[in-house]
Amino acid sequence: MWVRLSIRHPRSILRPHGPDQTPRLGRRGGPVTFVWIACFAVLGAWLRYGQNLVVQRLLGRDFPWATLSINVMGSFLIGLLSYTLVHGVPVSAALRTGVIVGGIGTYTTFSTFSLETLLLVEEGQVLRGLAYVATSLALGVGGVLLGALSAPRL
Protein backbone atom coordinates (compact mmCIF):
# COMPACT_ATOMS: atom_id res chain seq x y z
CA MET A 1 0.00 0.00 0.00
CA TRP A 2 1.37 3.41 -0.98
CA VAL A 3 0.92 6.42 1.21
CA ARG A 4 0.55 9.64 -0.70
CA LEU A 5 1.86 12.83 0.83
CA SER A 6 0.04 15.81 -0.55
CA ILE A 7 0.95 19.38 0.18
CA ARG A 8 -1.91 21.66 -0.64
CA HIS A 9 -0.68 24.70 -2.43
CA PRO A 10 -2.68 26.68 -4.99
CA ARG A 11 0.29 26.78 -7.36
CA SER A 12 3.53 24.96 -7.78
CA ILE A 13 6.01 26.05 -5.15
CA LEU A 14 9.08 26.21 -7.36
CA ARG A 15 7.74 26.84 -10.85
CA PRO A 16 7.22 30.41 -12.01
CA HIS A 17 3.80 31.61 -13.04
CA GLY A 18 2.95 33.99 -15.82
CA PRO A 19 3.81 34.25 -19.51
CA ASP A 20 6.98 36.31 -19.01
CA GLN A 21 8.71 33.85 -16.70
CA THR A 22 10.53 30.77 -17.87
CA PRO A 23 10.23 27.66 -15.66
CA ARG A 24 13.71 26.47 -16.58
CA LEU A 25 17.21 27.60 -15.89
CA GLY A 26 19.00 29.53 -18.64
CA ARG A 27 18.43 27.49 -21.80
CA ARG A 28 20.81 29.07 -24.25
CA GLY A 29 23.91 29.12 -22.10
CA GLY A 30 25.21 32.39 -23.53
CA PRO A 31 28.35 34.12 -22.29
CA VAL A 32 26.51 36.01 -19.54
CA THR A 33 25.22 32.73 -18.12
CA PHE A 34 28.74 31.30 -18.03
CA VAL A 35 30.07 34.40 -16.26
CA TRP A 36 27.33 34.15 -13.60
CA ILE A 37 28.05 30.44 -13.13
CA ALA A 38 31.77 31.11 -12.69
CA CYS A 39 31.21 33.94 -10.20
CA PHE A 40 28.81 31.99 -8.03
CA ALA A 41 30.89 28.80 -8.31
CA VAL A 42 33.74 30.57 -6.53
CA LEU A 43 31.41 31.65 -3.72
CA GLY A 44 29.90 28.17 -3.42
CA ALA A 45 33.32 26.54 -3.21
CA TRP A 46 34.51 28.97 -0.54
CA LEU A 47 31.37 28.43 1.52
CA ARG A 48 31.70 24.66 1.23
CA TYR A 49 35.34 24.69 2.29
CA GLY A 50 34.69 27.02 5.21
CA GLN A 51 31.72 25.07 6.49
CA ASN A 52 33.67 21.82 6.14
CA LEU A 53 36.48 23.20 8.34
CA VAL A 54 34.12 24.54 11.00
CA VAL A 55 31.94 21.43 11.25
CA GLN A 56 34.91 19.06 11.38
CA ARG A 57 36.47 21.16 14.13
CA LEU A 58 33.22 21.17 16.12
CA LEU A 59 31.99 17.60 15.58
CA GLY A 60 35.10 15.67 14.57
CA ARG A 61 35.77 13.32 11.69
CA ASP A 62 34.30 10.06 13.03
CA PHE A 63 31.18 10.52 10.90
CA PRO A 64 30.84 12.65 7.75
CA TRP A 65 28.97 15.41 9.62
CA ALA A 66 30.48 18.16 7.48
CA THR A 67 29.25 16.69 4.20
CA LEU A 68 25.86 15.91 5.70
CA SER A 69 25.48 19.48 6.99
CA ILE A 70 26.56 20.93 3.63
CA ASN A 71 24.10 18.76 1.71
CA VAL A 72 21.21 19.59 4.06
CA MET A 73 21.99 23.31 3.98
CA GLY A 74 22.43 23.15 0.19
CA SER A 75 19.05 21.45 -0.14
CA PHE A 76 17.45 24.16 1.99
CA LEU A 77 19.17 26.90 -0.01
CA ILE A 78 18.20 25.46 -3.39
CA GLY A 79 14.56 25.36 -2.29
CA LEU A 80 14.71 28.85 -0.81
CA LEU A 81 16.53 30.40 -3.76
CA SER A 82 14.53 28.57 -6.44
CA TYR A 83 11.38 30.10 -5.01
CA THR A 84 12.82 33.51 -4.18
CA LEU A 85 14.50 34.05 -7.55
CA VAL A 86 11.22 33.38 -9.33
CA HIS A 87 8.48 34.72 -7.05
CA GLY A 88 10.17 37.08 -4.59
CA VAL A 89 12.89 38.81 -6.56
CA PRO A 90 12.50 37.73 -10.19
CA VAL A 91 15.86 37.72 -11.95
CA SER A 92 17.04 36.77 -15.40
CA ALA A 93 17.38 33.11 -16.33
CA ALA A 94 21.14 33.66 -16.67
CA LEU A 95 21.49 34.94 -13.10
CA ARG A 96 19.17 32.24 -11.74
CA THR A 97 21.31 29.61 -13.49
CA GLY A 98 24.47 31.16 -12.05
CA VAL A 99 23.11 31.04 -8.50
CA ILE A 100 21.65 27.52 -8.70
CA VAL A 101 24.18 25.73 -10.94
CA GLY A 102 27.28 27.72 -10.05
CA GLY A 103 26.69 28.58 -6.40
CA ILE A 104 24.63 25.72 -5.03
CA GLY A 105 26.15 23.20 -7.45
CA THR A 106 29.67 23.80 -6.15
CA TYR A 107 28.50 24.15 -2.56
CA THR A 108 26.72 20.80 -2.32
CA THR A 109 28.74 17.64 -2.27
CA PHE A 110 26.94 14.65 -3.73
CA SER A 111 30.11 13.11 -5.10
CA THR A 112 31.78 13.42 -1.69
CA PHE A 113 28.66 11.94 -0.09
CA SER A 114 28.90 8.95 -2.45
CA LEU A 115 32.59 8.45 -1.73
CA GLU A 116 32.12 8.67 2.04
CA THR A 117 29.26 6.18 1.88
CA LEU A 118 31.43 3.72 -0.02
CA LEU A 119 34.27 4.21 2.47
CA LEU A 120 31.97 3.45 5.40
CA VAL A 121 30.80 0.25 3.68
CA GLU A 122 34.36 -0.78 2.80
CA GLU A 123 35.36 -0.27 6.44
CA GLY A 124 32.66 -2.75 7.44
CA GLN A 125 30.31 -0.07 8.75
CA VAL A 126 27.42 -1.08 6.50
CA LEU A 127 24.66 -0.02 8.90
CA ARG A 128 26.34 3.32 9.47
CA GLY A 129 26.64 3.79 5.70
CA LEU A 130 22.96 2.98 5.21
CA ALA A 131 22.02 5.34 8.03
CA TYR A 132 24.07 8.05 6.34
CA VAL A 133 22.29 7.49 3.01
CA ALA A 134 18.82 7.47 4.62
CA THR A 135 19.55 10.53 6.76
CA SER A 136 21.02 12.46 3.84
CA LEU A 137 18.06 11.67 1.61
CA ALA A 138 15.41 12.48 4.20
CA LEU A 139 17.06 15.70 5.39
CA GLY A 140 17.96 16.74 1.84
CA VAL A 141 14.41 16.44 0.52
CA GLY A 142 13.11 17.98 3.74
CA GLY A 143 15.56 20.86 3.31
CA VAL A 144 14.33 21.61 -0.21
CA LEU A 145 10.72 21.56 0.98
CA LEU A 146 11.44 23.71 4.03
CA GLY A 147 13.39 26.22 1.95
CA ALA A 148 10.63 26.51 -0.64
CA LEU A 149 7.92 26.86 2.01
CA SER A 150 9.97 29.39 4.02
CA ALA A 151 10.78 31.68 1.12
CA PRO A 152 7.35 33.38 0.83
CA ARG A 153 7.45 34.25 4.53
CA LEU A 154 10.82 36.03 4.44
What angle do the packed helices 126-150 and 110-122 form, to 10 degrees? 160
Candidates 25, 28, 49; CA nearest to 102 is 25
- Please report the beta strands in 14-136, taking only residues with DSSP state E, as ranges in sequence order: none
- Is 88 marked as binding a ligand? no
- Is 105 marked as binding a ligand? yes
How far apart are alpha carbons 89 and 86 in whole angstroms?
A: 6
Q: How far is CA 132 from CA 38, 56, 129, 137, 143, in A?
A: 31, 16, 5, 8, 16
Q: Binding site residues, as ranges?
A: 105, 108
Q: Binding site residues for Na(+), as ranges?
A: 105, 108
